[in-house]
Structure 1
Amino acid sequence: MQTASTNICERMGHSQELGEFKRGTVIGCYLCNKSIREISLLLNIPRSTVSGIITKWKQLRTAATQP
């Protein structure tokens, strides 16, 4: 039985930030002309995450996290 004070992250799942290596792998696949869907299936990452990483890379030319 769950109490009312249960942390929302425990109930809904907690997403974690991808490591720099995995983000770099996404960019590498993108530069090799893989589609977002192909990258998503290959690396087992949601398409929205892959799309966000690529969009951020196009704007900032870096895959590193920003402060």
Structure 2
Amino acid sequence: MPYIHIKITDEGVTNAQKQSLIKGATQLMVDVLGKNPQTTFVVIDEVPTDNWGIGFEQVTALRLRQAQ
């Protein structure tokens, strides 16, 4: 019973995109490991950019700088 945990920043990911992630991750388990899709669990956590850091900075600050 695979459990796949996907963490992404909360930056306007659509429901359709989340469905594609779930479908793709499940299909990967089927293709690579021969797992049953009916018992494969996928959880998507959306993390606020203030709570996600790269290097020494919050993603919020990085995105603001990139927008300038």
Give the TM-score, by structure 2 length.
Answer: 0.27
More strand by percentage: 2
Give the TM-score, by structure 1 length.
Answer: 0.28
Question: Could you say which structure has the greater relative contact order, defined with CA pairs below 8 angstroms and 6 or more residues apart?
Answer: 2
More helix by percentage: 1
